[in-house]
């Protein structure tokens, strides 16, 4: 997508910046890997009635995994990235931990929870202690074009309407099915599971005295379950594929602030360890729109402990 973080324009600007700063510039072609691990994942998750988080997958599979392999090939010691994050060396445990940056408004640690703990010591985040206006000022003093660029807000490979992208990229057309109520009554017909996500209100084509919301997507029955606003709230959720980046996997319940999406402020909760890198999360108060496929990320103060993939409740 033009003007995105991965566009040709951005690559040209990066080359220009390196030339101005007199540092080497390398172009790495990861189109195939990006397609397989990020774009195909995005399509497959929506096709399965889940809501993907491609930025999490990109940081895990491309920006850490593949780039760290390139670091080894180039015989370098560290990988430095422009993420707003921080590596904190805990004096008590002696281990590095992933922590929030000084500029909390730009905090990107949520997207980095999949980094393997053993790779954390090899990462550097130069923006850890700098707020965004100061970064722009530095870039301006160096006459870099990045000084005046708008912040990237969208998924880099998707236009504003992801549904249009899915229609173009999916090999088979989505199958229509039933809208049903939480009590099982048929309310209408949906256009295909990939076009809906938990909490969605617009585009349902149904009216009532109070709005309907998507509260569950039933892949097995090809149904979209609709309810009212109160039906969106959950007291618990289950999280799989948990990666503990800053601590050893806990053996007992721990108290955390659980962040359920990037813009989420975090909810006070207790994490109960289960088998196979899974946990159960019990919120102090019911949380709205807990969405399967998204990431649940666990914090204590500024330290990101770990995180994983939200699953459908059993």
Question: If we measure between CA atoms, which residue out of 311, 313, 314, 289 comes closest to residue 242?
Answer: 311
Q: Which stretches within 129-218 are classed as H helix?
A: 132-141, 162-169
Contact 25, 19 (CB under 8 A): yes
Longest CA–CA span in the chain (Å) reads 67
3 state DSSP class of 228: coil
Residue 18 falls in the annotated catalytic set: no
Q: How many CA atoms lie within 13 A of 93 on its CB side?
A: 9
Phi/psi of residue 83, nearest 5 degrees: -70, 145
- The active-site residue out of 6, 55, 58, 76 is 58
Please give the order of strands across the beta sheet that includes 186-190.
Answer: 186-190, 177-181, 223-227, 213-218
* CB 177 within 8 Å of CB 190: yes
- Residue 62 to residue 38: CA distance in whole angstroms: 9
> C-alpha distances in angstroms, 280 versus 64, 126, 238, 253, 309?
27, 35, 5, 9, 11
> Is 6 in the active site?
no
- Which active-site residues does the annotation give? 58, 156
């Amino acid at each position: 997508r033009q003007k995105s973080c991965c566009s040709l324009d951005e690559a040209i600007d990066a080359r220009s910046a390196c030339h101005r700063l007199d540092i080497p510039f390398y172009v790495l072609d990861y189109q195939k890997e990006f397609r397989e691990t990020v774009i195909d994942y995005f399509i497959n998750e929506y096709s399965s009635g889940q809501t993907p988080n491609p930025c999490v997958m990109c940081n895990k599979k491309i920006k850490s995994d593949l780039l760290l392999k390139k670091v080894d090939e180039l015989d370098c010691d560290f990988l430095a990235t422009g993420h707003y994050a921080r590596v904190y060396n805990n004096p008590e445990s002696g281990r590095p931990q992933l922590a929030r940056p000084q500029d909390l408004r730009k905090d990107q640690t949520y997207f980095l929870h999949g980094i393997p703990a053993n790779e954390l010591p090899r990462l550097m985040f130069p923006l850890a202690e700098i707020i965004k206006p100061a970064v722009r000022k530095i870039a301006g003093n160096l006459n870099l074009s990045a000084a005046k660029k708008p912040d990237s807000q969208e998924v880099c490979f998707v236009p504003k309407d992801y549904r249009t992208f899915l229609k173009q990229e999916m090999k088979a057309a989505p199958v229509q099915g039933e809208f049903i109520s939480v009590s099982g009554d048929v309310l209408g017909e949906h256009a295909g599971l990939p076009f809906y996500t938990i909490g969605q209100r617009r585009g349902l084509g149904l009216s009532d005295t109070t709005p309907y919301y998507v509260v569950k997507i039933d892949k097995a029955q090809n149904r979209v379950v609709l309810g009212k606003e109160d039906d969106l709230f959950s007291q618990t959720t289950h999280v799989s594929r948990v990666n503990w980046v800053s601590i050893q996997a806990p053996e007992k319940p721990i108290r955390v602030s659980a962040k359920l999406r990037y813009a989420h402020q975090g909810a006070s909760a207790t994490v109960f360890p289960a088998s196979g890198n899974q946990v159960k999360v019990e919120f102090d108060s019911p949380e709205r729109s807990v969405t399967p496929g998204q990431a649940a990320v666990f914090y204590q103060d500024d330290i990101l402990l770990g995180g994983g993939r939200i699953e459908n409740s059993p």
